[in-house]
Amino acid sequence: MAGTLRVRFAPSPTGYLHTGGARTALFNYLWAKGQGGVFVLRVEDTDEERSTEESMRAILDGLQWLGIMWDEGPDPAQFGESIGPFPPYYQSMRRPLHQAYMKKLWDAGHVFYCPATAEEMTGPDGKKLTFSPYRDITREEQERRLAAGEVMPVRFRCPRDVEVSWEDAVRGKVTFSSNEVGDFVLFKGNGQPLYNFVVVCDDIDMQITNVLRGEDHISNTPKQILLHEALGQTPPEFGHVPLIVGMDRQRLSKRHGATAVDAYEEQGVLPEAMVNFLALIGWAPGDDREKMTLEEMKQAFDPHRCTKAAGAFNPDKLKFFNELYIRELSADALAERLRPFVPAEWFSFRGEDYAKHVFTLFQEKIAYLTEMEANAWYFFRDPVEADNNVKSVAKFLTGNESAKQLLSEILTGMQALGDGEWTEEQLAPIVDGFVESSGLGRGKVMQPWRVALTGDAISPGFYDLVVTLGRDTVLRRVQPWIERL
């Protein structure tokens, strides 16, 4: 590869950043960073009716959340501004450039104003014609019609019987006949430039050397190659990665679950887990590694190792990665990641160290950050009747003839320890002694305690629970149950 690798991700701000687009951005980012190249972000906002600032901000936010930072593109701190040597990076602001390239094509005879109606562009068999019946219209006739106020789109005068081929980085050699391409439209009658034209203009101006994108763009590639050649430019090298499908092998859609990246952020997926997961949909590093850091992926990524077959979006695999990354967080890092997902008052309830300790008790149990609040709430407030699991209460407390005795005797032993903080070493002999003297199994002793303290039979380990809650909370929660039973 000669010169500096320059790749781009060019989303349309007509919706949110979806998983397919995020993966395309990630692949380009990894490729550029691994090769010492440049990753360009360009906003293709020529669809004025559907493009919104809200969507653009969502795309920028999504990329930044994933850790995919562009070298050139929109200024994330100032909407509408650009950073880089080829501004602006908003396609809608580049009209003068597009008009200049249009003039080059016009002067060279590669384009024509086409007065053909929809009926005239339809063949006897009812199929759309690829070549316009007006492709040989004279320049004088075009100018006469324009002067008369006729509104006409601009079409590319596609050469007939030409083979258009390229060596695809993913698929190998791909070939189209120019007869399949035909005289495609570059500008609408209202003067609005269309995708295949402006993308070529901007790729030339921004010195893009390689284009890696979804396979749904394959049919655009021969058009873009022909335009590059008509403008006297060498086309970039192209690669087309397969689309992402659901586990049923159908194209990924909302029926498969969330498709927008921000939905996974809100669900409590860690960005490093999402990146690791997305990278392995349709690409492999060439060894048996699954868990990889962003830096490792940068060094390993090669588009030639992308698969030709569609990659499946497996929610269970994403869950696996998220669990893996959550478990590796330090207590401090876990607490910081959890701040948007748990009540702010938890951090001041008994201080930050208490909150951090509680979170670590569930670190091995949660798959998503959103699950922490539902699991850990009873460390931050006393259960009320509505919190109680009715079945657990009935089984282990109200319907358990041993419950009152085991709560009472063990609590008495605990109270005898005095007013200081309890430790497992202090509590274990008390519990073990009761288990031995009562003849009850350890589980039959500890489950009623769990329910009395939390309202349910599921909690961290008994000693973690009691020691963390502390003497005053344990007494306050257990004593009413002893009186009630």
Question: What positions carry a catalytic annotation?
Answer: 254
> What phi and psi, each to the nearest 5 degrees, are found at residue 481?
-70, -40
In order of 282, 336, 347, the CA distances from 332 in angstroms are 34, 6, 12
**CA-to-CA dists, residue 152 to 110, 134, 460, 470, angstroms:** 16, 12, 72, 80
Residue pair 199/238 in contact (Cβ under 8 Å)? The answer is no
Which two three-digit tokens encode residue 431?
A: 């519990």
